Amino acid sequence: MADNLPSEFDVIVIGTGLPESIIAAACSRSGQRVLHVDSRNYYGGNWASFSFSGLLSWLKEYQENNDIVIDNSLWQEQILENEEAIALSRKDKTIQHVEVFCYASQDLHEYVEEAGALKKNHACVTPVNSSKAADSACLPTEDASLSTESCEVPAEQTPSSDPESTLEVNDAEATGEKENHSDDKISEEKTNENVPTAEDTAEQPKKNRITYSQIVKEGRRFNIDLVSKLLYSRGMLIDLLIKSNVSRYAEFKNITRILAFREGRMEQVPCSRADVFNSKQLTMVEKRMLMKFLTFCMEYEEHPDEYKAYEDITFSEFLKTQKLTPNLQYFVLHSIAMTSETTSSTIDGLKATKNFLHCLGRYGNTPFLFPLYGQGELPQCFCRMCAVFGGIYCLRHSVQCLVVDKESRKCKAIIDQFGQRIISKHFLVEDSYFSENTCSRVQYRQISRAVLITDRSVLKSDSDQQISILIVPAEEPGSFSVRVIELCSSTMTCMKGTYLVHLTCTSSKTAREDLEAVVEKLFTPYTETGIENEEVEKPRILWALYFNMRDSSDINRNCYNDLPSNVYVCSGPDGGLGNDNAVKQAEIIFQSICPNEDFCPPPPNPEDIVLDGDSSQPESSESSAILEANSETPAESTTLGNPEETSE
């Protein structure tokens, strides 16, 4: 199929991350001929989500990636005298310092397979003695070899990776799982989901015992994000999903609570007016203080006299002048504004607080939404829109080089892995595809990431289906606050009886060095002796992954060497909580390619399409109307579009 590609397009997009996918969808929607390629075998790049075994395979692929031998002879012969080439990299160096720890019981049998998966050799994880976890049982950094077996099957991604396939949207409460298995075992899995079989009973002689083999067998229940983000309910991405009607391809859940960890104690932060007045940890005086301050933040621009004198100090210092108790100052700074104690200015803090309050109540009692099946669903939703309007997709299809005309200094074509020259007017390239020569002057930041599978929530409540966000402030100079997002099984990201915890911060060292102190505060390693002790307060870690990810956001294109004007750079994920940076970037690049065109307009309603010879002009339909959940009684899962369209 790949060697029969058309020889000319209007736009060629290299990489399937969120910004690239949005731009591809927007260009295709505006009538451009789009070719969207990715050398990886999954959609999303560093925005992707993986099943458990898929994540292990992805880790192995990164190690094998370091051993690639590049043969330039295929494309060098095709470069003419009046042309020059910009070679693209075959090695992805965006992930570093990978370390994996397994604390769950190592009873993995030789032939245990992920339920419903194709047969494969899983990447192995060395057993870890929890008392020596800091000294061993880690996968080395990118310069060393990973302790894994060979795996012939490509990394498994969230099963809806084909943009032309229907993305089914299911009620999380009704089904508790995604209909993404094509094999005959799925009906048996559903039937036995909550009924222990003889084999399960044998594997679970003790209460609450979760073994590594269980995690592997239930691996398809996991959808593990490489980057951890949430969607602000009135953020740019939600608005774009609704406007473009791409929201019909996805479903979302509300973040149910915002937590604070203070003085060794975990507690829930009151956000809405009802939460504030129902809170038992605030005195009546504090409730009045907090409501008065939050009301001011919603209208702070109308009262410049109250903050102008404090513009040059940090938001933390400003809060001390506002007659707020230390308890309230902590809540506002770390759980509502979610800004840095040392670097965020007063204006930054007021803007963040206003944005938080502005997003409250649209879909629930917190400002945040999370996409079912993980963040990796979002790039695929836009890829599907692009494919619907004629975009062509090729995974496992690498590009050798960009061909530049010496006279005009414009890029005119690419040469792919088969030596085919494909002409285009515009080229979008994800940052990780550029070679070291192109990026020699670029100074990258790093994001420290940790992914934990745990056996219980960080804060017990009446419901075991809580989705929580927590900011742990920095304690040492030079370090950064850590964002913790805890996902339950109803988000379709982990198996029942477990929680998936994402930790993120700006890197100052390796991911494990940056995050281990917070992990030790909130969690404890899983041990056989600890299973029988029901008084253990902290959640137990069953499995942990640490890695550093490159942050290529907000880099001036002039830092890249000799890029033609019609080559646009798309960055990977940034370290922020929301997705506004990706949407802004996509819109700016789209307007450069298609000036005066509407950015991702809604597709036409089939009822509004006028066929040749049909003189009737039906009235505009209300298909793009927004169905917002009542903030008083938020739905268990939130659909951003018309529910009838969603259940196509």
How much is the average pLDDT of 125-140? 41
Q: What is the pLDDT of residue 275?
A: 78
| pLDDT for residue 535 | 57
Q: For residue 92, what pLDDT band results from cuts at 50, 70 and 90? A: confident
pLDDT at position 283 is 87
> Which of 225-239, 509-523, 625-639 has the lowest average pLDDT?
625-639
pLDDT at 179 over 50: no
- How do residues 195-204 score in pLDDT, each as one tens digit? 444 444 444 4
> Where is pLDDT greater, at 104 or 241?
241
Q: State mean pLDDT over 467-496.
A: 93
**How far is 95 from 77, CA to CA, in rounded Å?**
33
Confidence of residue 162 (pLDDT cuts 50, 70, 90): very low
CA distance 11 to 34: 5
Cα–Cα distance between 588 and 570 in angstroms, integer? 11
* Percent over 90 (pLDDT), the chain: 58
Mean pLDDT of 605-610: 66
What is the percent of the chain with per-residue pLDDT over 70, rounded to a whole number?
74
Residue 263 has what pLDDT? 85
Tell me the average pLDDT across 514-535.
79
Round to whole Å and give the CA distance between 644 and 648.
Answer: 7
- When pLDDT is averaged across residues 473-497 and rounded to a whole number, the result is 92
Where residue 610 falls among pLDDT bands split at 50, 70, 90? Answer: low
Q: How confident is the model at residue 532 (pLDDT cuts 50, 70, 90)?
A: low
Higher pLDDT, 370 or 127: 370
Beta strand pairing call for 445-454 and 499-506: antiparallel
More confident call, 192 vs 98: 98
On the question of pLDDT at 615 being above 90, the answer is no
Q: What residues have CB less than 8 Å from 304, skipping those under 6 apart? A: none
Q: What does the pLDDT look like over 562-577, one tens digit per residue? A: 899 999 999 999 999 9
Give me the chain's average pLDDT, please.
80
pLDDT score of 133: 38
pLDDT tens for each residue of 316-368: 999 999 989 999 999 999 999 999 888 899 999 999 999 999 999 899 889 99
- Spell out the domains of the chain, with CATH numbers in brackets: 8-92+373-443+553-593 (3.50.50.60), 272-359 (1.10.405.10)
Segment 420-462, tens digit of pLDDT: 999 999 999 999 999 999 999 999 999 999 999 999 999 998 8
CB 5 within 8 A of CB 421: no
- Residue 140 in this model has a pLDDT that exceeds 50: no
CA dist 87 to 91, 117, 401, Å? Answer: 12, 37, 4
Residue 3 is predicted with a pLDDT of 58
- 7-21, 273-287, 316-330 — which is least confidently predicted? 273-287
Confidence of residue 80 (pLDDT cuts 50, 70, 90): confident
Q: What is the CA radius of gyration of the chain?
A: 25
Residue 376 reports pLDDT greater than 70: yes
Mean pLDDT of the region 154-163 = 41
pLDDT at 602: 87
Strand extents, DSSP E, 329-425: 368-371, 392-395, 399-405, 411-416, 421-423
Whether 136 and 600 have beta carbons less than 8 Å apart is answered as: no
At residue 354, the 3 state secondary structure works out as: helix
Alpha-carbon gap, residue 38 to 379, rounded angstroms:
13
Identify the bridge partners of residue 152 per DSSP, sorted by sequence position.
none
- Look up the pTM and report it: 0.82
CB atoms under 10 Å from CB of 80, counted, come to: 9
- Specify whether the CB–CB gap between 548 and 446 falls below 8 A: yes
